[in-house]
Structure 1
């Protein structure tokens, strides 16, 4: 077994998207090879409807998959194919844009006005760029949850973990998407396939992720002073951790516990031509997508 070294720890950056939704972006619109097959990750969270209510009006996607995970509030969605629905708290939508789709996503808060969710973009390989669009809407009650003897809780959104398989399937990158909560003071190790790119995103509490990359690691808390490996700074709310190669990730929860997403996928390793919500392999394909948008042929007929 080998612990994955920490390549980078960085805070998500405040930005705006859609019609003025205030959110934090952990990565996106930079180096697409950094976390291949993943392109972008947004944390949209607010207690004031003024900062999210205008939502994400009609916009196109082609060549990618979008994964929306809602923790609080609801997201109503509709698209150019006639699909519509509402994602409630705890639910997931996996949308394969494929050859092209126009859709909108409009968030509403819970009874206290709170809205919280995540959106992850996954790239599609060249062979699937122009596949027919499809949706997978998964209710929160249908997502398996495993609780270990030490109180560690894991929701398995996709992939297989601790004997449970997530309900989202048929995704090109064959990802593993886990929502993990580790109680205060507990140290826990999680297995990840060696050949996958992996990252963690902390969104509650704080924890120290074990780092085997070298002597610069620092032991920070009294309860982890006996650790046999180096530990970097405690990672708190809205922190992205990028991991190197290995087959284990270990975290030591802080005084209030830690909750984070642990996401990994098989890299596609293909050229990327990217403009806004459209991601193709070549500039020629990207330009064709723009022409399709302009001349009304972006939505392809079903076969």
Structure 2
């Protein structure tokens, strides 16, 4: 049974399977999701209600990253795998600190995320500084060309690339390519190479390394459920997640749990994530400079 206000899906939306972007939107309290997404998410939340504060903690990490980098002088952001507009997008956070200055290009492959981002930006954005494009992160050169074509971002100048809660979703090779491994590490290297000097890379990633022992069963269940019904996931350890930054210089405090990354950048309007300990956030995160 669907809600009375169920949104009409844009062309290309697969409603036969729950989608990670729409599931995440539901965790965050958003409404850009369908019954199939809610049924999947409710099953998880019933078994593991801590998933919702984990999602909040990750979203608040995004907010703090944007504030920190704006204070460091960054005025251009490319948010890859930006998802649906829930609990404050990057441009909204940046606008509080540098009104009229920050430019943001959102990128997603999920049609719902793109359609709703366009709707939000049409009401609460500036078309000269904010846009969204539909692109596949598995084609870095094409995606980067699409960003350039918007005319919003000057790719010869420093840019902050955001890969927030993206890389633990497996990035499979294109059909017929002959490759079998997850493309995540080589894709991130390609984006690092594309960035101008002085740019930043920010990411967060689910891990099973260093989490409370009681959470390992939960992670195993989540992996099994997502692999069977939505998009396959991959968990990496601290060393592997740190490796995504290559030879970039990590900002203090390095790769750490999402609640521990510059907590002083929180604002009064941020959602509080009620987690008993930082490692119960299950996501490691960091930011590094080229």
Bigger Cα Rg: 1
Instruction: Tell me the TM-score normalised to structure 1 length.
Output: 0.30
Which structure is higher in strand share? 1
Larger helix fraction of residues? 2
